Structure 1
Amino acid sequence: MSYASVFAPGLFAGKVVVVTGGGSGIGRCVAHELSALGATLALVGRKLEKLQAVQAELAEDGGSATIHICDIRQEDTVKQTVVDILAQHGRIDGLVNNAGGQYMTPLEAISAKGWEAVVHSNLTGGFLMSRECYTQTMAKHGGAIVNIVADMWGSMPGMGHSGAARAGMVSFTETAAVEWANRGVRVNAVAPGYIASSGMDHYPAEMAPMVREMAKTVPLGRFGTEAETAAGIVFLLSPAASFISGSTLRIDGARPQARLGYPMRVADEKAQARDGIKPFNGFHRAKLPKVFTV
Protein backbone atom coordinates (compact mmCIF):
# COMPACT_ATOMS: atom_id res chain seq x y z
CA MET A 1 0.00 0.00 0.00
CA SER A 2 1.02 3.63 -0.41
CA TYR A 3 -0.25 6.99 0.79
CA ALA A 4 -3.44 7.90 -1.09
CA SER A 5 -2.91 11.65 -1.35
CA VAL A 6 -5.45 13.85 -3.12
CA PHE A 7 -2.59 15.92 -4.54
CA ALA A 8 -0.79 15.40 -7.85
CA PRO A 9 2.06 12.86 -7.87
CA GLY A 10 5.46 14.56 -7.88
CA LEU A 11 4.05 17.83 -6.56
CA PHE A 12 7.02 18.27 -4.19
CA ALA A 13 9.69 16.59 -6.31
CA GLY A 14 13.07 18.17 -5.61
CA LYS A 15 11.80 20.02 -2.54
CA VAL A 16 13.22 19.75 0.98
CA VAL A 17 10.74 20.05 3.84
CA VAL A 18 11.53 20.14 7.56
CA VAL A 19 8.93 18.61 9.88
CA THR A 20 9.36 19.13 13.61
CA GLY A 21 7.74 16.56 15.85
CA GLY A 22 8.03 14.22 12.88
CA GLY A 23 8.26 11.05 14.94
CA SER A 24 4.56 10.58 15.71
CA GLY A 25 1.01 11.78 15.22
CA ILE A 26 0.25 14.51 12.71
CA GLY A 27 3.96 15.12 12.08
CA ARG A 28 4.50 11.51 11.06
CA CYS A 29 1.43 11.59 8.83
CA VAL A 30 2.37 14.79 7.00
CA ALA A 31 5.91 13.47 6.52
CA HIS A 32 4.47 10.40 4.81
CA GLU A 33 2.22 12.44 2.54
CA LEU A 34 4.98 14.86 1.54
CA SER A 35 7.34 11.96 0.90
CA ALA A 36 4.72 10.24 -1.26
CA LEU A 37 4.53 13.46 -3.29
CA GLY A 38 8.28 13.48 -3.92
CA ALA A 39 9.66 15.64 -1.12
CA THR A 40 12.88 14.89 0.75
CA LEU A 41 12.23 15.14 4.49
CA ALA A 42 14.29 16.40 7.39
CA LEU A 43 12.63 15.00 10.51
CA VAL A 44 13.29 16.93 13.73
CA GLY A 45 12.52 15.73 17.23
CA ARG A 46 13.88 14.90 20.64
CA LYS A 47 13.57 11.09 20.59
CA LEU A 48 15.92 9.26 18.25
CA GLU A 49 13.99 5.98 18.24
CA LYS A 50 10.77 7.64 17.07
CA LEU A 51 12.50 9.49 14.25
CA GLN A 52 14.35 6.35 13.20
CA ALA A 53 11.07 4.43 13.05
CA VAL A 54 9.49 7.00 10.72
CA GLN A 55 12.67 7.22 8.66
CA ALA A 56 12.50 3.45 8.17
CA GLU A 57 8.81 3.61 7.21
CA LEU A 58 9.53 6.28 4.62
CA ALA A 59 12.39 4.22 3.18
CA GLU A 60 10.15 1.15 2.95
CA ASP A 61 7.66 3.26 0.99
CA GLY A 62 10.36 4.52 -1.37
CA GLY A 63 11.00 7.89 0.28
CA SER A 64 14.00 9.58 1.86
CA ALA A 65 14.51 11.42 5.15
CA THR A 66 17.31 12.57 7.38
CA ILE A 67 16.83 12.76 11.14
CA HIS A 68 17.95 15.54 13.46
CA ILE A 69 17.80 15.40 17.24
CA CYS A 70 16.84 18.83 18.53
CA ASP A 71 15.13 20.44 21.50
CA ILE A 72 13.42 23.31 19.70
CA ARG A 73 13.32 25.29 22.94
CA GLN A 74 17.11 25.71 22.90
CA GLU A 75 18.25 28.57 20.66
CA ASP A 76 21.80 27.38 19.98
CA THR A 77 20.60 23.85 19.28
CA VAL A 78 18.03 25.11 16.78
CA LYS A 79 20.65 27.22 15.00
CA GLN A 80 22.99 24.23 14.67
CA THR A 81 20.18 21.92 13.57
CA VAL A 82 19.32 24.19 10.64
CA VAL A 83 23.02 24.42 9.79
CA ASP A 84 23.18 20.61 9.74
CA ILE A 85 20.06 20.28 7.58
CA LEU A 86 21.46 22.74 5.07
CA ALA A 87 24.80 20.93 5.05
CA GLN A 88 22.99 17.72 4.03
CA HIS A 89 20.33 19.13 1.71
CA GLY A 90 21.59 22.49 0.50
CA ARG A 91 18.30 24.31 1.01
CA ILE A 92 14.98 24.26 2.86
CA ASP A 93 11.82 24.87 0.85
CA GLY A 94 9.22 24.20 3.53
CA LEU A 95 8.95 24.08 7.31
CA VAL A 96 6.15 22.44 9.29
CA ASN A 97 6.29 23.60 12.91
CA ASN A 98 4.42 20.65 14.38
CA ALA A 99 6.37 19.95 17.59
CA GLY A 100 4.65 20.92 20.83
CA GLY A 101 2.89 19.56 23.85
CA GLN A 102 0.85 20.35 26.93
CA TYR A 103 -0.74 18.76 29.96
CA MET A 104 -4.14 19.24 31.56
CA THR A 105 -4.33 21.31 34.73
CA PRO A 106 -6.39 24.29 35.95
CA LEU A 107 -4.77 27.72 35.78
CA GLU A 108 -4.42 28.08 39.54
CA ALA A 109 -2.34 24.90 39.69
CA ILE A 110 0.13 25.80 36.91
CA SER A 111 3.58 26.70 38.22
CA ALA A 112 5.78 29.29 36.52
CA LYS A 113 8.06 26.45 35.42
CA GLY A 114 5.15 24.49 33.94
CA TRP A 115 3.79 27.58 32.17
CA GLU A 116 7.18 28.38 30.68
CA ALA A 117 7.74 24.81 29.51
CA VAL A 118 4.48 24.75 27.55
CA VAL A 119 4.97 28.25 26.11
CA HIS A 120 8.52 27.39 25.06
CA SER A 121 7.34 24.19 23.37
CA ASN A 122 4.35 25.67 21.56
CA LEU A 123 5.47 29.22 20.81
CA THR A 124 9.16 29.93 21.34
CA GLY A 125 10.29 26.74 19.60
CA GLY A 126 8.23 27.50 16.51
CA PHE A 127 9.57 31.04 16.42
CA LEU A 128 13.18 29.84 16.67
CA MET A 129 12.77 27.24 13.92
CA SER A 130 11.04 29.78 11.67
CA ARG A 131 13.63 32.47 12.28
CA GLU A 132 16.56 30.18 11.57
CA CYS A 133 15.03 28.70 8.42
CA TYR A 134 14.31 32.24 7.24
CA THR A 135 17.66 33.81 8.03
CA GLN A 136 19.81 30.86 6.96
CA THR A 137 18.08 29.95 3.69
CA MET A 138 14.54 31.14 2.92
CA ALA A 139 15.47 34.83 2.81
CA LYS A 140 17.61 33.94 -0.21
CA HIS A 141 15.20 31.83 -2.27
CA GLY A 142 11.76 31.94 -0.62
CA GLY A 143 9.77 29.18 0.98
CA ALA A 144 6.66 28.27 2.92
CA ILE A 145 6.14 27.84 6.66
CA VAL A 146 3.12 26.19 8.27
CA ASN A 147 2.68 26.51 12.04
CA ILE A 148 0.45 24.00 13.81
CA VAL A 149 -1.67 25.64 16.48
CA ALA A 150 -4.90 24.40 18.09
CA ASP A 151 -8.63 24.95 18.47
CA MET A 152 -8.22 27.66 21.12
CA TRP A 153 -10.96 30.06 19.95
CA GLY A 154 -13.04 31.12 22.91
CA SER A 155 -11.01 29.32 25.55
CA MET A 156 -9.06 26.17 26.42
CA PRO A 157 -10.24 25.25 29.94
CA GLY A 158 -7.71 22.99 31.62
CA MET A 159 -5.02 23.98 29.13
CA GLY A 160 -4.71 27.72 29.59
CA HIS A 161 -0.95 27.66 29.08
CA SER A 162 -1.33 25.93 25.73
CA GLY A 163 -4.18 28.23 24.62
CA ALA A 164 -2.10 31.32 25.35
CA ALA A 165 0.89 29.90 23.47
CA ARG A 166 -1.19 28.85 20.47
CA ALA A 167 -2.87 32.25 20.28
CA GLY A 168 0.59 33.78 20.35
CA MET A 169 1.64 31.55 17.46
CA VAL A 170 -1.31 32.77 15.39
CA SER A 171 -0.17 36.35 15.96
CA PHE A 172 3.43 35.41 15.12
CA THR A 173 2.18 33.78 11.92
CA GLU A 174 0.38 36.97 10.86
CA THR A 175 3.39 39.19 11.65
CA ALA A 176 5.95 36.93 9.95
CA ALA A 177 3.73 36.79 6.86
CA VAL A 178 4.02 40.57 6.55
CA GLU A 179 7.69 40.95 7.45
CA TRP A 180 8.96 38.11 5.25
CA ALA A 181 6.69 38.52 2.23
CA ASN A 182 9.20 40.64 0.33
CA ARG A 183 11.57 37.67 0.30
CA GLY A 184 8.98 35.33 -1.14
CA VAL A 185 8.24 33.54 2.11
CA ARG A 186 4.66 32.60 2.97
CA VAL A 187 3.68 31.89 6.58
CA ASN A 188 0.38 30.26 7.52
CA ALA A 189 -1.06 28.18 10.33
CA VAL A 190 -3.27 25.12 10.66
CA ALA A 191 -5.52 24.74 13.70
CA PRO A 192 -6.60 21.11 14.22
CA GLY A 193 -9.69 20.51 16.31
CA TYR A 194 -10.49 17.09 17.75
CA ILE A 195 -8.23 14.80 15.74
CA ALA A 196 -7.95 11.05 16.33
CA SER A 197 -4.18 11.06 16.62
CA SER A 198 -1.67 8.77 18.29
CA GLY A 199 -1.07 11.49 20.90
CA MET A 200 -4.32 10.38 22.52
CA ASP A 201 -2.61 7.13 23.53
CA HIS A 202 -0.72 9.13 26.15
CA TYR A 203 -3.82 10.51 27.86
CA PRO A 204 -4.56 9.20 31.37
CA ALA A 205 -6.94 6.22 31.36
CA GLU A 206 -9.54 8.17 33.35
CA MET A 207 -9.91 10.59 30.44
CA ALA A 208 -11.10 7.91 28.02
CA PRO A 209 -14.87 8.27 28.65
CA MET A 210 -14.66 12.06 28.27
CA VAL A 211 -12.63 11.77 25.06
CA ARG A 212 -15.17 9.41 23.49
CA GLU A 213 -17.98 11.88 24.28
CA MET A 214 -16.19 14.84 22.69
CA ALA A 215 -17.48 14.02 19.21
CA LYS A 216 -20.97 14.99 20.39
CA THR A 217 -19.83 18.62 20.57
CA VAL A 218 -18.70 18.64 16.93
CA PRO A 219 -21.41 19.56 14.37
CA LEU A 220 -19.94 17.07 11.88
CA GLY A 221 -20.39 14.43 14.56
CA ARG A 222 -16.93 12.84 14.64
CA PHE A 223 -13.22 13.25 15.22
CA GLY A 224 -11.02 14.28 12.33
CA THR A 225 -8.25 12.09 10.97
CA GLU A 226 -4.53 12.77 10.84
CA ALA A 227 -4.76 12.60 7.04
CA GLU A 228 -7.42 15.32 6.93
CA THR A 229 -5.06 17.55 8.91
CA ALA A 230 -2.05 16.65 6.80
CA ALA A 231 -3.96 17.52 3.62
CA GLY A 232 -4.51 21.06 4.89
CA ILE A 233 -0.83 21.43 5.74
CA VAL A 234 0.26 20.09 2.35
CA PHE A 235 -2.12 22.46 0.58
CA LEU A 236 -0.64 25.49 2.36
CA LEU A 237 2.88 24.35 1.42
CA SER A 238 1.88 23.82 -2.20
CA PRO A 239 1.90 26.17 -5.20
CA ALA A 240 -1.92 26.20 -5.06
CA ALA A 241 -1.61 28.40 -1.96
CA SER A 242 0.88 30.80 -3.54
CA PHE A 243 -1.32 33.83 -2.72
CA ILE A 244 -2.25 32.70 0.79
CA SER A 245 -0.17 34.05 3.67
CA GLY A 246 -0.93 35.12 7.21
CA SER A 247 -3.99 32.86 7.36
CA THR A 248 -5.04 30.18 9.83
CA LEU A 249 -6.86 27.18 8.38
CA ARG A 250 -9.16 25.55 10.91
CA ILE A 251 -9.70 21.81 10.55
CA ASP A 252 -12.29 21.22 13.25
CA GLY A 253 -15.71 20.18 11.90
CA ALA A 254 -17.19 23.59 12.87
CA ARG A 255 -16.76 22.83 16.58
CA PRO A 256 -15.90 26.44 17.65
CA GLN A 257 -19.15 27.65 16.10
CA ALA A 258 -21.36 25.56 18.40
CA ARG A 259 -23.24 27.91 20.73
CA LEU A 260 -25.01 27.50 24.03
CA GLY A 261 -28.75 27.80 23.56
CA TYR A 262 -28.68 26.57 19.97
CA PRO A 263 -29.88 22.97 19.68
CA MET A 264 -27.00 20.80 18.56
CA ARG A 265 -27.90 18.87 15.43
CA VAL A 266 -24.86 16.64 15.25
CA ALA A 267 -24.34 14.74 12.02
CA ASP A 268 -24.99 11.00 12.18
CA GLU A 269 -21.67 9.41 11.23
CA LYS A 270 -23.20 5.98 10.53
CA ALA A 271 -25.89 7.46 8.32
CA GLN A 272 -23.30 9.47 6.43
CA ALA A 273 -21.23 6.34 5.88
CA ARG A 274 -24.27 4.59 4.39
CA ASP A 275 -24.62 7.51 1.99
CA GLY A 276 -20.98 7.25 1.00
CA ILE A 277 -19.86 10.26 3.05
CA LYS A 278 -16.77 9.09 4.90
CA PRO A 279 -13.81 10.72 6.61
CA PHE A 280 -10.78 11.10 4.38
CA ASN A 281 -7.99 8.81 5.52
CA GLY A 282 -5.36 8.36 2.85
CA PHE A 283 -2.66 7.43 5.36
CA HIS A 284 -1.99 3.75 4.77
CA ARG A 285 -0.15 3.33 8.09
CA ALA A 286 -2.74 5.07 10.26
CA LYS A 287 -3.95 3.32 13.42
CA LEU A 288 -6.99 4.23 15.49
CA PRO A 289 -6.02 5.52 18.97
CA LYS A 290 -6.56 2.95 21.69
CA VAL A 291 -9.18 5.12 23.41
CA PHE A 292 -11.60 4.30 20.56
CA THR A 293 -10.97 0.56 20.55
CA VAL A 294 -11.72 -0.30 24.19
Structure 2
Amino acid sequence: MSRFDGKVAIVTGAASGIGQEIARRLAAEGAIPVIADLNHEAAEACAAEIRSTGGDALAVAMNVVDEDAVGSGVADVMAKYGRIDVLVSNAGIQIVSPVIDLPFADWKRLLAIHLDGAFLTTKACLKPMYAARSGSIVYIGSVHSKEASKLKAPYVTAKHGLIGLSKVVAKEGAAFNVRSNVVCPGFVRTPLVDKQIPEQARELGLTEDEVISTVMLKDTVDGEFTTIDDVADAVLFFAGARSNAMTGQSMVVSHGWFMQ
Protein backbone atom coordinates (compact mmCIF):
# COMPACT_ATOMS: atom_id res chain seq x y z
CA MET A 1 0.00 0.00 0.00
CA SER A 2 1.38 3.41 -1.02
CA ARG A 3 1.62 6.28 1.46
CA PHE A 4 -0.62 8.24 -0.96
CA ASP A 5 -3.36 5.67 -1.61
CA GLY A 6 -6.71 7.47 -1.79
CA LYS A 7 -5.29 10.82 -0.72
CA VAL A 8 -6.61 13.90 -2.50
CA ALA A 9 -3.97 16.39 -3.64
CA ILE A 10 -4.74 19.78 -5.15
CA VAL A 11 -1.93 20.94 -7.45
CA THR A 12 -2.23 24.50 -8.76
CA GLY A 13 -0.86 25.35 -12.18
CA ALA A 14 -0.89 21.63 -12.95
CA ALA A 15 -1.98 21.69 -16.59
CA SER A 16 1.65 21.94 -17.74
CA GLY A 17 5.30 21.88 -16.69
CA ILE A 18 6.34 21.11 -13.13
CA GLY A 19 2.78 20.98 -11.82
CA GLN A 20 1.71 18.44 -14.40
CA GLU A 21 4.62 16.13 -13.56
CA ILE A 22 3.84 16.42 -9.84
CA ALA A 23 0.21 15.47 -10.54
CA ARG A 24 1.28 12.47 -12.64
CA ARG A 25 3.70 11.26 -10.00
CA LEU A 26 1.11 11.61 -7.24
CA ALA A 27 -1.35 9.60 -9.32
CA ALA A 28 1.27 6.91 -9.92
CA GLU A 29 1.63 6.62 -6.13
CA GLY A 30 -2.12 6.13 -5.64
CA ALA A 31 -3.19 9.70 -4.91
CA ILE A 32 -6.10 11.50 -6.57
CA PRO A 33 -4.63 14.67 -8.08
CA VAL A 34 -6.82 17.70 -8.61
CA ILE A 35 -5.53 19.58 -11.66
CA ALA A 36 -6.29 23.19 -10.70
CA ASP A 37 -5.43 25.58 -13.50
CA LEU A 38 -6.53 28.77 -15.22
CA ASN A 39 -6.66 26.77 -18.46
CA HIS A 40 -9.54 24.39 -17.77
CA GLU A 41 -9.30 22.68 -21.16
CA ALA A 42 -5.63 21.79 -20.60
CA ALA A 43 -6.41 20.76 -17.01
CA GLU A 44 -9.14 18.41 -18.24
CA ALA A 45 -6.75 16.91 -20.81
CA CYS A 46 -4.22 16.21 -18.03
CA ALA A 47 -6.89 14.68 -15.79
CA ALA A 48 -8.20 12.56 -18.67
CA GLU A 49 -4.69 11.25 -19.36
CA ILE A 50 -4.33 10.19 -15.72
CA ARG A 51 -7.76 8.53 -15.73
CA SER A 52 -6.83 6.66 -18.92
CA THR A 53 -4.01 4.93 -17.02
CA GLY A 54 -6.45 3.64 -14.40
CA GLY A 55 -6.11 6.38 -11.79
CA ASP A 56 -8.57 9.02 -10.68
CA ALA A 57 -8.12 12.75 -11.26
CA LEU A 58 -10.28 15.86 -11.29
CA ALA A 59 -9.84 19.03 -13.35
CA VAL A 60 -10.85 22.30 -11.71
CA ALA A 61 -10.81 25.74 -13.33
CA MET A 62 -9.00 27.97 -10.83
CA ASN A 63 -7.68 31.50 -10.99
CA VAL A 64 -5.55 31.52 -7.84
CA VAL A 65 -5.83 35.30 -7.38
CA ASP A 66 -9.64 35.19 -7.32
CA GLU A 67 -10.87 34.33 -3.83
CA ASP A 68 -14.29 33.22 -5.06
CA ALA A 69 -12.78 30.99 -7.75
CA VAL A 70 -10.43 29.39 -5.22
CA GLY A 71 -13.26 28.84 -2.75
CA SER A 72 -15.49 27.36 -5.44
CA GLY A 73 -12.76 25.00 -6.65
CA VAL A 74 -12.01 23.76 -3.14
CA ALA A 75 -15.76 23.32 -2.48
CA ASP A 76 -16.05 21.22 -5.66
CA VAL A 77 -13.21 18.98 -4.46
CA MET A 78 -14.81 18.57 -1.03
CA ALA A 79 -18.21 17.82 -2.59
CA LYS A 80 -16.71 15.06 -4.76
CA TYR A 81 -14.17 13.50 -2.39
CA GLY A 82 -14.91 14.86 1.09
CA ARG A 83 -11.22 15.44 1.88
CA ILE A 84 -8.11 17.40 0.93
CA ASP A 85 -4.88 15.82 2.13
CA VAL A 86 -2.25 17.73 0.16
CA LEU A 87 -1.96 21.17 -1.42
CA VAL A 88 0.90 21.82 -3.82
CA SER A 89 1.02 25.58 -4.44
CA ASN A 90 2.78 25.73 -7.79
CA ALA A 91 1.06 28.33 -9.99
CA GLY A 92 3.44 31.07 -11.07
CA ILE A 93 4.72 33.33 -13.84
CA GLN A 94 8.01 35.05 -14.62
CA ILE A 95 8.70 38.64 -15.69
CA VAL A 96 12.26 39.68 -16.57
CA SER A 97 13.20 43.36 -16.26
CA PRO A 98 15.65 45.59 -14.41
CA VAL A 99 14.01 47.33 -11.44
CA ILE A 100 14.41 50.76 -13.03
CA ASP A 101 12.27 49.72 -16.03
CA LEU A 102 9.81 47.38 -14.30
CA PRO A 103 6.18 48.58 -14.61
CA PHE A 104 4.38 48.67 -11.26
CA ALA A 105 1.52 46.70 -12.84
CA ASP A 106 3.92 43.84 -13.65
CA TRP A 107 5.31 43.90 -10.10
CA LYS A 108 1.81 43.64 -8.67
CA ARG A 109 0.70 40.94 -11.12
CA LEU A 110 3.62 38.63 -10.35
CA LEU A 111 3.34 39.08 -6.58
CA ALA A 112 -0.40 38.47 -6.76
CA ILE A 113 -0.06 35.14 -8.58
CA HIS A 114 2.80 33.84 -6.41
CA LEU A 115 1.89 35.24 -2.97
CA ASP A 116 -1.83 36.06 -3.06
CA GLY A 117 -2.40 32.75 -4.86
CA ALA A 118 -0.44 30.83 -2.24
CA PHE A 119 -2.31 32.61 0.57
CA LEU A 120 -5.79 32.11 -0.89
CA THR A 121 -5.31 28.42 -1.73
CA THR A 122 -3.68 27.79 1.66
CA LYS A 123 -6.49 29.49 3.56
CA ALA A 124 -9.16 27.55 1.66
CA CYS A 125 -7.43 24.18 2.11
CA LEU A 126 -6.57 24.67 5.78
CA LYS A 127 -10.24 24.56 6.78
CA PRO A 128 -10.82 20.90 5.72
CA MET A 129 -7.28 19.95 6.78
CA TYR A 130 -7.80 21.37 10.28
CA ALA A 131 -11.17 19.62 10.51
CA ALA A 132 -9.53 16.31 9.57
CA ARG A 133 -6.52 17.07 11.79
CA SER A 134 -4.22 16.07 8.96
CA GLY A 135 -2.64 17.64 5.92
CA SER A 136 0.49 18.67 4.06
CA ILE A 137 1.15 21.88 2.12
CA VAL A 138 4.09 22.11 -0.26
CA TYR A 139 4.98 25.43 -1.85
CA ILE A 140 7.04 25.52 -5.02
CA GLY A 141 9.66 28.12 -4.23
CA SER A 142 12.96 28.49 -6.07
CA VAL A 143 16.66 28.87 -5.52
CA HIS A 144 15.46 32.48 -5.72
CA SER A 145 13.80 31.88 -2.34
CA LYS A 146 17.39 31.96 -1.02
CA GLU A 147 19.40 33.82 -3.64
CA ALA A 148 19.02 36.74 -6.04
CA SER A 149 19.61 37.24 -9.74
CA LYS A 150 19.53 40.38 -11.83
CA LEU A 151 16.30 41.25 -13.67
CA LYS A 152 14.02 39.26 -11.36
CA ALA A 153 13.06 41.61 -8.52
CA PRO A 154 9.37 40.61 -8.17
CA TYR A 155 10.09 36.89 -8.62
CA VAL A 156 12.91 36.87 -6.05
CA THR A 157 10.75 38.89 -3.65
CA ALA A 158 7.79 36.54 -4.06
CA LYS A 159 9.84 33.37 -3.70
CA HIS A 160 11.48 34.69 -0.53
CA GLY A 161 7.98 35.47 0.74
CA LEU A 162 6.82 31.87 0.31
CA ILE A 163 9.44 30.76 2.85
CA GLY A 164 7.95 33.16 5.41
CA LEU A 165 4.38 32.08 4.71
CA SER A 166 5.33 28.42 4.97
CA LYS A 167 7.02 28.90 8.34
CA VAL A 168 3.94 30.61 9.78
CA VAL A 169 1.63 27.92 8.40
CA ALA A 170 3.92 25.26 9.91
CA LYS A 171 3.67 26.87 13.36
CA GLU A 172 -0.09 27.49 13.18
CA GLY A 173 -0.87 24.12 11.60
CA ALA A 174 1.12 22.02 14.05
CA ALA A 175 -1.76 21.79 16.53
CA PHE A 176 -3.86 20.26 13.75
CA ASN A 177 -1.16 17.91 12.38
CA VAL A 178 -0.78 20.02 9.25
CA ARG A 179 2.74 20.35 7.83
CA SER A 180 4.11 23.04 5.53
CA ASN A 181 7.33 23.01 3.51
CA VAL A 182 8.94 24.59 0.45
CA VAL A 183 10.71 22.94 -2.50
CA CYS A 184 13.25 25.29 -4.10
CA PRO A 185 14.21 24.21 -7.63
CA GLY A 186 17.01 25.58 -9.72
CA PHE A 187 16.43 26.28 -13.41
CA VAL A 188 14.02 23.72 -14.86
CA ARG A 189 13.70 23.56 -18.66
CA THR A 190 10.01 24.43 -18.84
CA PRO A 191 8.27 26.91 -21.19
CA LEU A 192 8.71 29.51 -18.40
CA VAL A 193 12.51 29.12 -18.56
CA ASP A 194 12.62 28.78 -22.36
CA LYS A 195 10.87 32.16 -22.59
CA GLN A 196 13.48 33.75 -20.29
CA ILE A 197 16.52 32.68 -22.32
CA PRO A 198 16.03 35.11 -25.25
CA GLU A 199 14.74 37.81 -22.86
CA GLN A 200 17.88 37.60 -20.73
CA ALA A 201 20.08 37.41 -23.84
CA ARG A 202 18.65 40.74 -25.00
CA GLU A 203 18.90 42.40 -21.57
CA LEU A 204 22.44 41.16 -20.86
CA GLY A 205 23.88 41.41 -24.36
CA LEU A 206 24.71 37.68 -24.50
CA THR A 207 23.92 34.83 -26.86
CA GLU A 208 21.25 32.37 -25.77
CA ASP A 209 23.90 29.66 -25.26
CA GLU A 210 25.87 32.08 -23.06
CA VAL A 211 22.77 32.77 -20.95
CA ILE A 212 22.43 29.03 -20.35
CA SER A 213 26.11 28.35 -19.59
CA THR A 214 27.24 31.56 -17.86
CA VAL A 215 24.03 32.66 -16.11
CA MET A 216 21.62 29.79 -15.56
CA LEU A 217 23.93 26.80 -15.04
CA LYS A 218 27.21 28.51 -14.15
CA ASP A 219 27.19 27.46 -10.49
CA THR A 220 25.80 23.93 -10.83
CA VAL A 221 28.16 21.04 -10.14
CA ASP A 222 27.43 19.31 -13.45
CA GLY A 223 26.16 21.95 -15.89
CA GLU A 224 22.73 20.33 -15.89
CA PHE A 225 19.23 21.76 -15.66
CA THR A 226 17.07 20.58 -12.77
CA THR A 227 14.40 18.23 -14.17
CA ILE A 228 10.69 18.15 -13.43
CA ASP A 229 11.32 14.66 -12.05
CA ASP A 230 13.88 16.07 -9.59
CA VAL A 231 11.28 18.54 -8.34
CA ALA A 232 8.53 15.92 -8.11
CA ASP A 233 10.83 13.68 -6.03
CA ALA A 234 11.23 16.46 -3.46
CA VAL A 235 7.51 17.31 -3.43
CA LEU A 236 6.55 13.70 -2.79
CA PHE A 237 9.18 13.48 -0.04
CA PHE A 238 7.64 16.42 1.82
CA ALA A 239 4.01 15.53 1.03
CA GLY A 240 4.47 11.95 2.21
CA ALA A 241 6.41 12.66 5.41
CA ARG A 242 4.99 10.59 8.25
CA SER A 243 5.44 13.05 11.11
CA ASN A 244 5.81 16.71 12.03
CA ALA A 245 9.60 16.26 12.12
CA MET A 246 9.57 17.62 8.57
CA THR A 247 7.75 20.96 8.75
CA GLY A 248 8.70 24.58 8.26
CA GLN A 249 11.62 23.46 6.09
CA SER A 250 12.86 24.25 2.60
CA MET A 251 14.75 21.89 0.30
CA VAL A 252 16.93 23.16 -2.54
CA VAL A 253 16.89 21.02 -5.70
CA SER A 254 19.40 22.69 -7.99
CA HIS A 255 22.33 20.43 -8.96
CA GLY A 256 24.43 22.25 -6.42
CA TRP A 257 23.76 25.77 -7.74
CA PHE A 258 22.85 26.87 -4.21
CA MET A 259 24.17 24.94 -1.22
CA GLN A 260 22.93 25.42 2.32
**Structure 2 equivalent of residue 217 of structure 1:** 219
Partner Cα distance (1:81, 1:253) in 2:
35
**Contact residue 235 and residue 241 of structure 1 kept, 8 A:** no
**Contact residue 72 and residue 125 of structure 1 kept, 8 A:** yes
Of 104, 114, 130 in structure 2, the residue corresponding to residue 139 of structure 1 is: 130
**Contact residue 21 and residue 99 of structure 1 kept, 8 A:** yes
Of 23, 28, 34 in structure 1, the residue corresponding to residue 20 of structure 2 is: 28
Alignment of 1:115-194 (within 5 A): 115-135=107-127, 137-141=128-132, 142-152=134-144, 153-194=146-187
Partner Cα distance (1:50, 1:235) in 2:
27
Matched residue SS, 1:256: coil
**Structure 1 equivalent of residue 237 of structure 2:** 235
Partner Cα distance (1:220, 1:231) in 2:
19
Partner Cα distance (2:4, 2:81) in 1:
15
Partner Cα distance (1:147, 1:41) in 2:
16
Rg comparison, structure with higher value: 1
C-alpha change, 1:200 and 1:139, in structure 2 (3 Å) is same
Partner Cα distance (2:149, 2:172) in 1:
29
Matched residue SS, 2:258: helix
Q: CA deviation at 1:53?
A: 2.1
**Contact residue 187 and residue 193 of structure 2 kept, 8 A:** no
What is the one-letter code of the residue matched to 1:111?
Answer: P
Listed one character per residue, the Cα deviations across residues 257-279 of structure 1 (whole Å, up to 9, x for unaligned) are 49xxxxxxxxxxxxxxxxxxxxx
What percent of counterpart residues are identical?
A: 29
Normalising by structure 2, what TM-score?
Answer: 0.90
Q: CA deviation at 1:177?
A: 0.4
Partner Cα distance (2:173, 2:111) in 1:
23
What is the one-letter code of the residue matched to 1:63?
Answer: G
Normalising by structure 1, what TM-score?
Answer: 0.80
Listed one character per residue, the Cα deviations across residues 23-64 of structure 1 (whole Å, up to 9, x for unaligned) are 011100010110000001111010122212211221222222
Partner Cα distance (2:242, 2:227) in 1:
22
The runs of 5 or more residues in structure 2 that have no matched partner are 202-207
Of 72, 97, 106 in structure 2, the residue corresponding to residue 80 of structure 1 is: 72
**Contact residue 96 and residue 146 of structure 1 kept, 8 A:** yes
Listed one character per residue, the Cα deviations across residues 168-203 of structure 1 (whole Å, up to 9, x for unaligned) are 111000111001110110000000012223433444
Partner Cα distance (2:51, 2:210) in 1:
38
Aligned alpha-carbon RMSD (Å): 1.8
**Contact residue 186 and residue 252 of structure 2 kept, 8 A:** yes
What is the one-letter code of the residue matched to 2:234?
Answer: G
Of 37, 41, 50 in structure 1, the residue corresponding to residue 33 of structure 2 is: 41
Partner Cα distance (1:211, 1:240) in 2:
41
Q: Does 1:95 align with 2:87?
A: yes
Listed one character per residue, the Cα deviations across residues 220-243 of structure 1 (whole Å, up to 9, x for unaligned) are 321111101100000100034642
**Contact residue 16 and residue 92 of structure 1 kept, 8 A:** yes
Partner Cα distance (2:120, 2:139) in 1:
12
The runs of 5 or more residues in structure 1 that have no matched partner are 1-8, 259-294
Q: Which runs of 4 or more aligned residues in structure 1 lie more than 6 Å from their structure 2 counterparts after TM superposition?
A: none
Q: CA deviation at 1:101?
A: 0.8
Listed one character per residue, the Cα deviations across residues 114-160 of structure 1 (whole Å, up to 9, x for unaligned) are 1110001111101110011002x001111000001111123131110
Partner Cα distance (1:24, 1:221) in 2:
25
Count of residues paired in the alignment: 249
Partner Cα distance (1:203, 1:155) in 2:
16
**Structure 1 equivalent of residue 204 of structure 2:** none
